[in-house]
Structure 1
Amino acid sequence: MRPTIALLAWLGGASFAVAQDFTIDPHLIDRCLPVVDNQMQCVGQQAYDCIHRNGGGPNMVLGACYEAEAEVWDDWLNSTYKGLIATARDLEASDSGWDPGSLVDTLREMQIAWIAYRDATCAQEMALAKPFGSRVSSVSALCRLRETARQYFELQRVRRDLAAN
C-alpha cells in the first residue's frame, strides 16, 4: 500500500508542475534604451521580469533568466562587432589616411582584451559567491549579462566615432 500512496502523491504533484518560460523579448530591451538617462538601467530588466514570471527564488531560475538576457546582449554585441570590422576595413581601404590593418587590428585587440577582462571579472565574482554554493551559476550569468551589455554600449560608442569619420 505504501508504494501506491507514494506513486499517487508523486503523480498528483506532477499535475501541479508548470512549464517555465525563460524567453526574453529583445524588443522590450530595445524600447527601454531611448527612454532612460543611463542605458545600464535597461540591463537586467527583462531578466527580472523572467524571474518573476517563473516564480522567482531558486538559483536555477535566476541563472536561466540572466543567461537568456545575456544571450540577447551577446547577439547584439556580436552583430555590432561584425559591423565595426566591416566599417573599419572599408575605412582602411579608402583614401582616408588610415594604415592598412590599424583600425581592424585595434578593434580585434580591444575585443580580445575585453573577453579576458570579462572572464576575470566574472571569475572574481564567482569566487566571492563560492561559499554560498548554489549562487555561483546565477552570479556568473548576471556578471556575463552586465559585462556584455557594457561592452555592447562601448562598441556602439566606437561605431558612432567611426561614422563621424
Structure 2
Amino acid sequence: MRWLMLALLPLTAAYPAAAQDLSVDPDTVHACLKDATGVLPDCIGDAAKACQSQPGGETTPGISACLQGEAQVWDDLLNAQYKGARARMLAQGGTDLADQLLEAQRAWIAFRDADCGLTYAVWGAGSIRTVMASDCYLHKTAQRALELRDLGNME
C-alpha cells in the first residue's frame, strides 16, 4: 500500500476537506472476511461503497479515499491471515513449508504492486488512474487475505 500512497501523495493535498474526512467501517470488511465463501465474494468493496455515500465521497478524490480506506482494512486482515497461515504451515509441514509460504507471499506482494502500478500507469495523467489503481489494490489484497484464510484449512 505504501507505493500507492506515495504515488497519490501529491493528489491528497489537493483533496477537498470532505474527502479527507471520509471513513470506512472496518466491521463491514471483517464481516466480509468472516462470511465469504471463495476468494471473490460480492462483499469486497461494500465498505468503500458505503463510504462513498458520505459527503465528498462521490468525488474522484473521495472515491479513491474510500477505496484506499477499505484496502487498508483488508491489508491489516491480510497480515493477520498470513501470520495464521504461517503458524498452520509450521505445525503441518515445518519450517520448509512455512518458508515456501514466505517466498510465495513476497512474490505475491511484488506481483500485486507491479500489476496495480501498471493499472495506474495505463490510465496516464487522468484523475481516474487513482480510482483504478486503488480498486486494483483493494481487490487483490482482499482476495489474497481470503486465500490465506483458507490456506491449510483444506480438511
TM norm. shorter chain > 0.5 = yes
Asked if the contact 2:120–2:133 (Cα under 8 Å) also holds between the matched residues in 1, the reply is yes
* Matches for 1:1-40 after TM superposition, within 5 Å: 21-32=21-32, 34=35, 39-40=40-41
Asked if the contact 2:71–2:141 (Cα under 8 Å) also holds between the matched residues in 1, the reply is yes
Instruction: Please give the alpha-carbon distance, in whole angstroms, between the structure 2 residues aligned to 1:123 and 1:19.
Output: 23
Q: What displacement does 1:106 show? A: 1.1
- Flag structure 2 segments of 5+ consecutive residues without an equivalent: 1-16
SS at 1:42 equivalent: coil
* Matches for 1:74-89 after TM superposition, within 5 Å: 74-89=75-90
Q: What displacement does 1:127 show? A: 1.7
The alignment's TM-score, normalised by the length of structure 2, stands at 0.76
What amino acid sits opposite 1:83 in the alignment? G
2:132 alignment partner, one of 134, 139, 161 = 139
- Flag structure 1 segments of 5+ consecutive residues without an equivalent: 1-16, 93-99
Q: 1:153 to 1:61 in 2, by over 3 A?
A: same
Q: 1:36 to 1:85 in 2, by over 3 A?
A: closer
The alignment's TM-score, normalised by the length of structure 1, stands at 0.72
Q: Which residue of 2 aligns with 1:59?
A: 60
Residue correspondences, number:
138
Percent identity at matched positions?
Answer: 36
Answer with 1 or 2: which has the greater Rg.
1
What amino acid sits opposite 1:130 in the alignment? G
What amino acid sits opposite 1:26 in the alignment? P
Q: Which residue of 1 aligns with 2:100?
A: 106
**Cα deviation digits, residues 119-161 of structure 1 (max 9, x gap):** 12102211221142x2222222111111000101111221413
